[in-house]
Amino acid sequence: MTRRKWDIPAVFIYLFLALFSIACILPMVLTFIVSISSEDSIISNGYKFLPDHYSLEAYRKLFANGATLVRSYMITITITVVGSIVALVITAMAAYTLSNPNVRYRSGLNLYFFITMLFSGGLVPWYIMCTKLGLKDNILALIIPGLMFNAFYLFLIRNFMDSLPSSLRESAYIDGANDMRIAFRIYLPLCIPVLATVILFYALSYWNDWFNAIMLVDNSKLYPLQYVLFKIKSSMEMLKMIPKGAIASQYTNPTESTKMATVIITIGPIIFVYPYLQRYFVKGLIIGSVKG
């Protein structure tokens, strides 16, 4: 019976990965524990993995008006799913156009989109354009502004497409396929790694967006999740500033634990989605960025 030999370098690699994984998980565990800690315990002892007292007051505050929170959750899910898919399609079609050597003035178009990475029109022109397009107090106000795609994502997909053999397009042309069929039947299926990366970026942007709600939405029934939680947290911060002798401040508002509870509530869906896209993430980001 032969004795099993230990691969010392592999052992150190696995040990390092295990420690690194623990280091990544511990902050999330601490965040959850603080969210169920009493405010007095946090004030007295700071953030601890084993607090003196536990409390669900932060979650009670957040879910005091459960209908509002559920509605805002559904609005955020809707704008995230619809906005991410439509933005990805627009970005991918623009990237395919820029990667096609048969397109006239392709270099000029590349420069045009590149300039948007360096200069911005500013907030006032953006607001005027949105209001002129009717993006005010409706669900489209939370979706369409995000469709003005990020040029970085455009070039990421274009670079990935440039790495594909040009013979694919030429063979498809010979077989009689048009550009729409080539894009959707050949190029986009081959670009799944970079498309998964970009749609994750778009989804995170839509999910965390509260700025469009502040600027373009006055109807409280259209507030997304992030903006609702932002208003709740701001209200608690204001109550914390009221003098101790005031009637409204005779109890301790769970300000710190509420901050952590909002983190737990908002990151849940992203944690469930990310594992499905993680295998494409690194590959898509690396391949799409190495070729200019």
Average pLDDT over residues 1-10: 65
Condensed to tens digits (0 to 9), the pLDDT of residues 230-267 reads: 777 777 666 666 655 554 444 456 677 777 877 787 77
Q: Does residue 88 belong to any structural domain of this protein?
A: yes
In a domain, 3, yes or no: no
Name the domain count of the chain: 1
Containing structural domain, residue 82: 58-290
Split at pLDDT 50, 70, 90, the class of 56 is confident
* Amino acid 85: pLDDT: 92
How much is the average pLDDT of 35-63?
78
DSSP calls for the chain: -PPPPP-HHHHHHHHHHHHHHHHHHHHHHHHHHHHTB-HHHHHHH-S-SS-SSB--HHHHHHTTTHHHHHHHHHHHHHHHHHHHHHHHHHHHHHHHHHH-TTSTTHHHHHHHHHHHHH----HHHHHHHHHHTT-SSSGGGGTGGGGS--HHHHHHHHHHHHTS-HHHHHHHHHTT--HHHHIIIIIHHHTHHHHHHHHHHHHHHHHT--HHHHHH---GGG--HHHHHHHHHHHHHHHHTS-TTSGGGSS---HHHHHHHHHHHHHHHHHHHHHHHHHHHHHHHHHHHH--
Q: Is 13 domain-assigned?
A: no
Question: Is 43 inside a domain boundary?
Answer: no
Q: Is residue 21 part of a domain?
A: no
Query: pLDDT digit string (tens) for 85-114?
Result: 999 999 999 898 888 888 888 888 888 888
Query: Does any domain span residue 5?
Result: no
Instruction: Give the pLDDT band of residue 219 (cuts 50, 70, 90).
Output: confident
Evaluate if residue 277 carries a pLDDT over 80: no
Average pLDDT, the chain: 79
Question: Does 143 fall in a domain?
Answer: yes
Give the pLDDT mean for 209-216. 88
In the chain, % of residues over pLDDT 70: 82
CA distances (Å), origin 2, targets 5, 7, 11 = 9, 15, 20
Q: Examine residue 82 and state whether it is found in any structural domain, yes or no.
A: yes
What is the predicted pLDDT for the residue at 221? 85
CATH number at residue 154: 1.10.3720.10
The pLDDT of residue 292 is 43
- Give the residue with greater pLDDT, 43 vs 157: 157
